[in-house]
């Protein structure tokens, strides 16, 4: 994976962030979702390098090989604000104070927070298979609670750790053929680490509490995404089924946002990498 890329561990004040980076040209950051690592981009990142970009793929705080602080009662150490600050600091350490950004799933929530908190750092943002967390939570229905029940299970204290760590291979389903063997092996090692599992749960606990409050505060203050924005979603996932056209929701956060669905399941970086890389490359070249 990632032939020609370099990797390093960036030590920050309260976290250590594992990052892969390669290529030459305008910098692009790719943020993975749950429960993946930066390896999920192994079929997309090289294609973007071929398009003339510098590509940076970090493991989010607590995921993969990145580590954050011990969990706290308010979950702030694993908030999207804290993780977004990690990304800004990592990019600065690599010599990039302004960059383009794409986030998938939970990485999309980090991307939203980053562009709201650090608008000077982001020139373009792509939001993949995600909506603002507060938009999900303001639209809770029995259907949502049934299909996305894991959000509320993960929020329970202690129980999900015991359940998941008892048999992580059964909880997290990964296919080495569709993921790629090396990506699968890296992901499997991460999900079998109780510290990683705890951090991933803290990500969701923060989402229901501090992250929601941060988004609602920004919304009340009229903060919006000011840079060009792209929304992409998987046609074989359930975002459209739950909400209809995602662009109608995103338009309140990013006037002028454009986007479309892609024929893929949820993990489109692995399942539809060529189409996704083309969409991102075209957008970032605009």
Q: What is the CATH number of the domain that holds 240?
A: 3.40.50.1820
pLDDT tens, N- to C-terminus, the chain (286 residues) = 999 999 999 999 999 999 999 999 999 999 999 999 999 999 999 999 999 999 999 999 999 999 999 999 999 999 999 999 999 999 999 999 999 999 999 999 999 999 999 999 999 999 999 999 999 999 999 999 999 999 999 999 999 999 999 999 999 989 999 999 999 999 999 999 999 999 999 999 999 999 999 999 999 999 999 999 999 999 999 999 999 999 999 999 999 999 999 999 999 999 999 999 999 999 999 8
In a domain, 1, yes or no: no
- CB distance 182 to 5 below 8 Å: no
pTM value surpassing 0.95: yes
Report the domain count for the chain: 1
CB 61 within 8 Å of CB 27:
no
User: Can you give the pLDDT at residue 175?
Assistant: 94
Q: How far apart are CA 281 and CA 272, in angstroms?
A: 14
DSSP assignment of 174-222 equals --HHHH-HHHHHHHHHHHT-HHHHHHHHHHHHHHHTHHHHHHHHHHHHT
Look up the domain containing 20 and give its range. Answer: 6-284
Domain presence at residue 88: yes
Residue 155 covered by a domain: yes
CB atoms inside a 10 Å sphere around CB 23: 20
Residue 87 located in a structural domain: yes
pLDDT at 195: 97
- Helix, strand counts (H, E) of the chain: 16, 8
- State the pLDDT at residue 284: 98
Q: Which residues contact 212 (CB under 8 A, 6 or more apart)?
A: 133, 134, 137
Within-domain flag for 142: yes
Considering the domain boundaries, does residue 219 fall inside one? yes
Query: Are 262 and 233 contacting, i.e. CB atoms less than 8 angstroms apart?
Result: yes
pLDDT at 19: 98
pLDDT digits (tens, 9 = 90+) for 204-230: 999 999 999 999 999 999 999 999 999
The pLDDT value recorded for residue 29 is 98
Q: Is the residue at 234 inside a domain?
A: yes
pLDDT, residue 286, reads: 86
Distances (CA, A) of 260 to 95, 139, 230, 257, 282: 33, 22, 8, 10, 13
Active site residues: 105, 266
For residue 211, tell me if it sits in a domain. yes
Structure tokens at 21: 């980076």
């Amino acid at each position: 994976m990632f032939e020609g890329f370099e990797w390093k561990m960036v030590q920050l004040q309260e976290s250590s962030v594992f990052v892969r980076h390669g290529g030459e040209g305008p910098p692009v950051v790719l943020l993975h979702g749950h429960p993946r690592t930066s390896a999920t981009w192994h079929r997309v990142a090289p294609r973007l390098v071929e398009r003339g970009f510098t590509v940076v793929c970090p493991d989010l705080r607590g995921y993969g090989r990145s580590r954050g602080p011990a969990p706290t009662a308010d979950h702030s150490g694993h908030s999207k604000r804290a993780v977004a600050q990690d990304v800004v600091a990592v990019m600065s350490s690599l010599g990039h104070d302004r960059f383009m950004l794409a986030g998938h799933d939970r990485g999309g929530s980090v991307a939203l927070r980053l562009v709201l908190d650090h608008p000077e750092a982001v020139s373009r943002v792509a939001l993949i298979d995600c909506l603002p967390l507060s938009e999900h939570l303001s639209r809770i229905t029995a259907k949502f609670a049934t299909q996305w029940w894991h959000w509320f299970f993960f929020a329970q204290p202690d129980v999900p750790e015991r359940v998941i760590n008892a048999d992580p291979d059964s909880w997290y389903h990964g296919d080495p053929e569709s993921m790629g063997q090396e990506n699968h092996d890296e992901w499997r090692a991460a999900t079998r680490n109780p510290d990683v599992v705890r951090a991933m749960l803290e990500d969701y606990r923060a989402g229901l509490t501090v992250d929601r409050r941060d988004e609602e505060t920004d919304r009340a203050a009229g903060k919006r995404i000011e840079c060009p924005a792209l929304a992409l979603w998987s046609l074989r996932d359930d975002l459209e089924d739950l909400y209809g056209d995602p662009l109608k929701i995103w338009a309140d956060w990013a006037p002028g946002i454009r986007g479309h669905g892609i024929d893929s399941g949820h993990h489109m970086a692995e399942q539809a990498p060529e189409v996704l890389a083309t969409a991102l490359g075209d957008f970032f070249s605009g």
